[in-house]
Chain A
Amino acid sequence: MGVMDGILEGAKVAFSFHGILFVLMGVFLGTIIGMLPGLGPITAIGVMIPISYGMDANMALVMMAGIYYGAIFGGSTSSILLNAPGVAGTVATAFDGYPMAQQGKAGKALAIAAVSSFIGGTVGVILLMLFAPLLATVAISFGPPEYFALMLLALTAIASLSEGSTIKALISGTLGFMVAMIGIDGQTGTSRFTFGSASLLSGIDFLVIALGIFALAEVFKLIITRNDIDSGPNKNIGSIRITKSELKEMSGPASRQSVLGFLIGVLPGAGATIASFIAYITEKKIAKKPEEFGKGSIKGLTAPETANNAATSGAFVPLLSLGIPGSGTTAVLLGALMVMGIQPGPMLFTEKPDLFWGVIISMYIGNIFLLVLNLPLIPYISKLLNIPRPMLISLVTIFCLIGVYGISFNTFDLYLLLAFGIIGYLLRLVSFPAAPFILAFILGEMIEQSVRKSMTISNGSFMIFLERPITLAFLIITVLSLALPPLLGMRKKIKSIE
């Protein structure tokens, strides 16, 4: 059976009454789950497994995929409104989304996020459809040294995330990296900095850090400033109008980052988080006005939102074409497939074309649904910010507490949350930026593990990073991106002196 027949089979699945119904259910659930604290797509799909048992496999997968990309789609909401990223992929969204909301443009920020997500998701699906079988080779081209080089490149974002003192940004990043070292070391099994506590053995969860340093610290600040006269014109908060010039501003990052984000998403283990960070720094690097980034830049919001959704589509490449899970969520999806009696693997494409193409085609429909579902809701959701400050403060705090409790159902994590909230607040007091901290925390463990895996493979020789072309290329880009701006600056100075 040819590819065309497969696509037709898939279209039959996706456009059937049930297909449309289930994708609608999936993206609806996904949006809600993405907005709620602590309920990542992993948990949502995990609990769906026993429920979906006995369901038609096509429909179940269509729905679960919908939950997955729906959650990333909806996940930007709490980042933008509350500075509380619920999944790691939406941390970068808060960089410019939250300042924008603070300026009274919450509705617009949410609308930009929704449109960017839609573009990222749709372009991602198109690429997925055209290249899924071909990209399988790309997906497996990365070993530990390549991942190390890629993560290192992403880490250079610290330099561009610094406002004011570079030293302070670097210190903040180092501290984040140090926190990432807590827990059992993957390569030796040694417990590091756990002080004998079982709860620290698996390290500190991303949500504890994100909600603590970002959201709770923001809550503490709000407590101090709650009696000040509300800043910004709040009446227009729900307006979702995007002007033509704004659309034009979005078009560049959206088109570039949907492709780049997709490609990064294809790599198992990299995923939406890395994609969103790399998108953010590349756009800042090439922007004409990089100083706007971090202060509510439209480009700065568009880039990560496009990239993380495109990456979500990309993550389906290794899953569907190779049976290799590219992320925690796709690993659970893989488990869900197995319980339905389907063995995901390289043969899926030829043996179950209806499933393979059905899911892909349903993702087009899903993305349209997401846009249609989300846009009309935005004016209402953004009114959240109009809740009186005392009530808002209490509710955001509860939001953080439930979110963190939902990770492990262990009150220890809640104490940690409070501790990191205080740390985050103290960092603000001494004007250390928080973004490098969280970036280094997310990347730190992966960088450390990949460099040490590489060293084990090479019997302790550093040559492994120079011998492999992809690794070498990334390292050169990293060095250039760090060295070029200061060099160019020097040239300008010399010229001006002459």
Chain B
Amino acid sequence: MKRSLLFLGLSFALILAACNESSGDASSADGDWMPTKNIEIVAPSGAGGGWDTTARMAAKVLEEEGLIDQGIGVVNKTGGGGAVGWAYIATKKESPYNLFVTSTPMIDVPLNGQSDYDYTDFTPIANVIADYGAFAVKADSKWQTLNDLFDDMKKDPTSVTVIGSSSPGSMDHLKFAKFAKEAGVDITKIKYVSEQDGGELTALLNGSVDVFSTDVSEVVEQVRAGNIRVLAVTSEERLEGETISEFPTGVEQGINTTYINWRGFFGPKDLPEDALEFYEQKFKEMTETDAWKEIRANYGWGDFFMGHEEYQEFLKEQVESSKALLDELGIVR
């Protein structure tokens, strides 16, 4: 008897609480939009990945520095290199409570025909991070500079194997192709191996492959230990920091191109104007906090803030550039 009473009480409490929910919503009429309930940031990957970490760290900073009063929860929607998460957000049209974190695959994956949604189906809010690519070879490799490598590849592109962690037609493949093309290599003959189980460095170190196309942060420690040599980084100018500043850029070796892996926050399509302004401002403030700067430094993430307008222009250019490369590679999907 006691037990069923407890049950009754419990269910009653639940119903009461449910009624409370529907009462208040945002007053967006005056332009000063404020969130009135918990915000959800979707990480279109599993816990522990790059997107997930960015989302969780941003949520932490936004909450702890008092930038946003409401709770921020991170929700993981894993699958399809992001496509599953994007499809989920696409159902949240106009909702100012469903943000997500994304990066370069937002461009590559739809271009490869692996997602029905591209960036135009969402609202870019603010970019916060930039990562740069690096091309590394074994320390005892015969190639001292990027040009040494590309000279050999011009003679026989099939003599060199490149490894990366993203699938063909995506980031690691595209950035190498972009540089090789600029140097005049026949990029349709480049041998690219995609290694998705974390064995890229191993394959490079034991000589199974010749070149590792990756992010700068992946190679720093191996360079310090004298295991590998970085032929070039993909930034415009040399990066700052111990060891990192010793890596030459492609530009200074006469290969006049760059590649950037950006990462930022988006909202669903038709995000209300005032909510967009609110979040844009908050993310800007977030990137200026010391807590965020420290996190960035620890991960080796570069600072790259862009507001909504600038972001959209940038994305448009990115799509055009990647599309041109894919066409030339003969990857038509």
Residues of chain A whose beta carbon lies under 8 Å from any beta carbon of chain B? 42-43, 45-47, 49-50, 53, 139-145, 147, 184, 186-189, 191, 198-202, 268-269, 318, 322-328, 331-332, 335, 338-341, 343-347, 407-410, 446, 449, 453, 456-457, 459
- Contacting residues, chain B, for A188 (C-beta < 8 A): 168
B116 and A324 contacting across the interface, CB-CB below 8 Å: no
B202 and A201 contacting across the interface, CB-CB below 8 Å: no
Among B79, B193, B298, B331, contact of A189 (Cβ-Cβ < 8 Å): B331
A326 to B197, CA, bound (A): 8
Also in contact, A142 and B298, with CB within 8 A (given A187-B194, A199-B80, A457-B161) = no
A311 to B191, CA, bound (A): 33
Residue of B nearest to A201 (CB): B80
A392 to B209, CA, bound (A): 52
Also in contact, A407 and B78, with CB within 8 A (given A46-B52, A143-B203, A456-B193) = yes
Residue of B52, B88, B169, B202 with most chain A CB atoms under a 10 A cut-off: B202
A347 to B300, CA, bound (A): 17
A340 and B298 contacting across the interface, CB-CB below 8 Å: yes
A408 and B84 contacting across the interface, CB-CB below 8 Å: yes
Also in contact, A140 and B205, with CB within 8 A (given A199-B84, A324-B198, A343-B220) = yes
A43 to B45, CA, bound (A): 11
Residue of B80, B112, B114, B170 with most chain A CB atoms under a 10 A cut-off: B80
B221 and A50 contacting across the interface, CB-CB below 8 Å: no
Among A53, A145, A345, A449, contact of B222 (Cβ-Cβ < 8 Å): A345
Residue of A nearest to B50 (CB): A335
- Contacting residues, chain B, for A446 (C-beta < 8 A): 197
A312 to B191, CA, bound (A): 34
Q: Is B245 in the interface zone, CB < 8 Å from A?
A: no
Among B47, B76, B167, B225, contact of A186 (Cβ-Cβ < 8 Å): B167
Q: Is B227 in the interface zone, CB < 8 Å from A?
A: yes
A295 to B210, CA, bound (A): 49
A218 nearest CB across to chain B (Å): 26
B199 and A147 contacting across the interface, CB-CB below 8 Å: yes
B81 and A143 contacting across the interface, CB-CB below 8 Å: no
B83 and A409 contacting across the interface, CB-CB below 8 Å: no
Also in contact, A191 and B113, with CB within 8 A (given A331-B198, A453-B193) = yes
B202 and A140 contacting across the interface, CB-CB below 8 Å: yes
- How many residue-residue contacts, CB under 8 A, span A and B? 177
3 tightest Cβ-Cβ pairs between the two chains A and B: A345-B221, A46-B47, A143-B208
Residue of A nearest to B87 (CB): A198
A408 and B167 contacting across the interface, CB-CB below 8 Å: no
Residue of A nearest to B79 (CB): A202
- Contacting residues, chain B, for A200 (C-beta < 8 A): 80
Q: Is B261 in the interface zone, CB < 8 Å from A?
A: no
B167 and A347 contacting across the interface, CB-CB below 8 Å: no
13 sample A-B contacts, Cβ–Cβ < 8 Å, listed by A number: A46-B53, A184-B167, A187-B193, A189-B114, A201-B83, A202-B81, A269-B198, A339-B57, A343-B221, A408-B77, A409-B77, A410-B88, A449-B196
- Knowing that A144-B203, A189-B167 are A-B contacts, what are 13 other residue pairs whose CB atoms are under 8 Å apart, sorted by A's residue number? A50-B59, A143-B206, A184-B114, A189-B170, A191-B113, A202-B79, A268-B199, A322-B201, A345-B224, A408-B79, A446-B197, A456-B192, A457-B191
Among A143, A191, A410, A449, contact of B84 (Cβ-Cβ < 8 Å): A410
Q: Is B71 in the interface zone, CB < 8 Å from A?
A: no
A95 to B112, CA, bound (A): 41
Q: Is B306 in the interface zone, CB < 8 Å from A?
A: no
- Contacting residues, chain B, for A456 (C-beta < 8 A): 161, 191-193
B193 and A457 contacting across the interface, CB-CB below 8 Å: yes
A46 and B48 contacting across the interface, CB-CB below 8 Å: yes
A268 to B170, CA, bound (A): 24
B80 and A202 contacting across the interface, CB-CB below 8 Å: yes
A50 to B191, CA, bound (A): 39
A429 to B253, CA, bound (A): 67
A198 and B48 contacting across the interface, CB-CB below 8 Å: no
B189 nearest CB across to chain A (Å): 11
A81 to B193, CA, bound (A): 42
Q: Is B290 in the interface zone, CB < 8 Å from A?
A: no
A124 to B121, CA, bound (A): 51
Residue of B nearest to A348 (CB): B221
A53 to B53, CA, bound (A): 12
- Contacting residues, chain A, for B193 (C-beta < 8 A): 144, 187, 453, 456-457
- Contacting residues, chain B, for A186 (C-beta < 8 A): 167, 194, 196
Q: Is B136 in the interface zone, CB < 8 Å from A?
A: no
Q: Is B145 in the interface zone, CB < 8 Å from A?
A: no
- Contacting residues, chain B, for A339 (C-beta < 8 A): 53, 57, 295, 298-299
B32 nearest CB across to chain A (Å): 30
Q: Is B93 in the interface zone, CB < 8 Å from A?
A: no
- Contacting residues, chain A, for B224 (C-beta < 8 A): 345-347
**Complex interface residues of chain B between 280 and 328 (CB less than 8 A to chain A):** 295, 297-300
Q: Is B195 in the interface zone, CB < 8 Å from A?
A: yes
- Contacting residues, chain B, for A459 (C-beta < 8 A): 158, 191
B316 nearest CB across to chain A (Å): 23
- Contacting residues, chain A, for B217 (C-beta < 8 A): 338
- Contacting residues, chain B, for A187 (C-beta < 8 A): 168, 193-194
Q: Is B75 in the interface zone, CB < 8 Å from A?
A: yes
B97 nearest CB across to chain A (Å): 17
Among B60, B75, B201, contact of A53 (Cβ-Cβ < 8 Å): B60
- Contacting residues, chain B, for A340 (C-beta < 8 A): 298
B192 nearest CB across to chain A (Å): 8
- Contacting residues, chain B, for A457 (C-beta < 8 A): 161, 191, 193, 208-209
Q: Is B103 in the interface zone, CB < 8 Å from A?
A: no
Residue of A nearest to B223 (CB): A345
B129 nearest CB across to chain A (Å): 14
Q: Is B184 in the interface zone, CB < 8 Å from A?
A: no
Among A184, A341, A449, contact of B298 (Cβ-Cβ < 8 Å): A341
Residue of B nearest to A142 (CB): B202
